[in-house]
Amino acid sequence: MYSCQLAGVSITWYTWLEQGRPINVSSQVLDAIARTLRLDTAERDHLYRLAEVPVPEVTVTADRITPTMQSILDSITGFPAAALNSRWDLLGWNAACAAVWPRLTAPDSSRNVLWEMFTTPECCRSFVNRDTGLPHMVASFRAAFAQHLDDPAWTTLIRGLCTASTEFTHLWANHDVAAPPSQTMTYHHAATGDLSFTLTRLDLTATPETFLTIWTPVDNRTRDRTTWLLAHPTAPSLDHTH
């Protein structure tokens, strides 16, 4: 019953669950058991029914935004804005976002924020406060993954990140769950220096698990530097080449 220990429940409690005894259990605990036992969708649903907990609906992660949403992004000027899904795929962005993070929005980019954060060579990384920002990002990614345990797009991304990045592997092994980050984020751009933004997240209710993120400059220096980048969109973001 080592799996019970990994899921954080006792052997007795799990035995009672299998026997159909009346016990109080949260969906978070059931999801932890399902992940630990690597249950497929049918087995996970059966686990919920055993516990007499409503089976959660499985949602499909959006992979695009509407033209109307892109128009809204384009209308936001002066600071970066982007639409993302719960898998941290970049679905749309405005001109300021492309100017600040050209690597993420480049045609050959993976267009996945986690992949770019964890697999970009250290010399090319722009995210300054990684120690505080990345654990929160991975924790929110794990929380969303609970609804996509059997989705190949999610499991393939996770396997790829674990293979490519020991840093991600370490954070993923912590099993932390949290809401998406909202703290101040600082990025470095070779042409302007550091840029600090406050994140604001707006859920797009018309498209499940999709949200709009707006990076608002925390001070006039960042605001002026962002304005300069908008006027010089081809300014190199790195001070070296490979």
Whichever domain contains 227, its CATH number is 3.30.450.180
Residue at 193: amino acid letter: G
pLDDT of res. 72: 95
Indicate whether 195 belongs to any domain: yes
pLDDT of res. 149: 82
Indicate whether 162 belongs to any domain: yes
pLDDT tens sequence across 77-119? 989 999 999 999 999 999 999 999 999 999 999 999 999 999 9
Beta strands in 35-143 (DSSP E): 81-85, 90-93
Q: How does residue 4 score in pLDDT terms, banded at 50, 70 and 90?
A: very low
Indicate whether 241 belongs to any domain: no
pLDDT of res. 8: 46
Does residue 120 surpass a pLDDT of 60? yes
Asked if residue 46 and residue 71 are part of one domain, the reply reads no
Does residue 13 surpass a pLDDT of 60? no
Going by C-alpha positions, the residue among 54, 52, 11 that lies closest to residue 33 is 11
Strands 193-203 and 210-217 come out as antiparallel
Indicate whether 145 belongs to any domain: yes
The most confident of the ranges 107-121, 138-152, 171-185 is 107-121
Asked if residue 123 and residue 31 are part of one domain, the reply reads no
Indicate whether 58 belongs to any domain: no
Q: Where in the sequence is the domain holding 36, given as residue range(s)?
A: 2-50
Total count of domains within the chain: 2
- Of 12-16, 28-32, 86-90, 155-159, least confident by mean pLDDT is 12-16
pLDDT tens sequence across 193-210? 999 999 999 988 778 889
Going by C-alpha positions, the residue among 223, 114, 134, 127 that lies closest to residue 181 is 134
Asked if residue 125 and residue 46 are part of one domain, the reply reads no
Does residue 9 surpass a pLDDT of 60? no
Asked if residue 75 and residue 177 are part of one domain, the reply reads yes
Angle (nearest 5°) at CA 216 between 211 and 221: 155
Asked if residue 103 and residue 23 are part of one domain, the reply reads no
Distance CA 233, CA 190 (A): 13
Asked if residue 130 and residue 17 are part of one domain, the reply reads no
pLDDT tens sequence across 21-65? 655 666 667 776 776 666 666 777 777 777 777 776 656 687 889
**pTM to 2 decimal places:** 0.75
- Longest CA–CA separation in the chain, Å: 67
Q: How many residues does the chain have?
A: 242
In the chain, % of residues over pLDDT 90: 56
Does residue 156 surpass a pLDDT of 80? yes
Asked if residue 108 and residue 225 are part of one domain, the reply reads yes
Asked if residue 166 and residue 119 are part of one domain, the reply reads yes
Indicate whether 82 belongs to any domain: yes
Beta strands in the chain (DSSP E): 81-85, 90-93, 184-189, 193-203, 210-217
Asked if residue 210 and residue 118 are part of one domain, the reply reads yes
Do residues 106 and 98 make contact, with C-beta atoms less than 8 angstroms apart?
no
Asked if residue 221 and residue 123 are part of one domain, the reply reads yes
Asked if residue 31 and residue 85 are part of one domain, the reply reads no
Strands 81-85 and 210-217 come out as antiparallel
Q: How does residue 241 score in pLDDT terms, banded at 50, 70 and 90?
A: confident
Strands 81-85 and 90-93 come out as antiparallel
Asked if residue 197 and residue 227 are part of one domain, the reply reads yes
Indicate whether 237 belongs to any domain: no
Q: To the nearest whole number, what is the mean pLDDT of the chain?
A: 85
Distance CA 51, CA 104 (A): 43
Indicate whether 143 belongs to any domain: yes
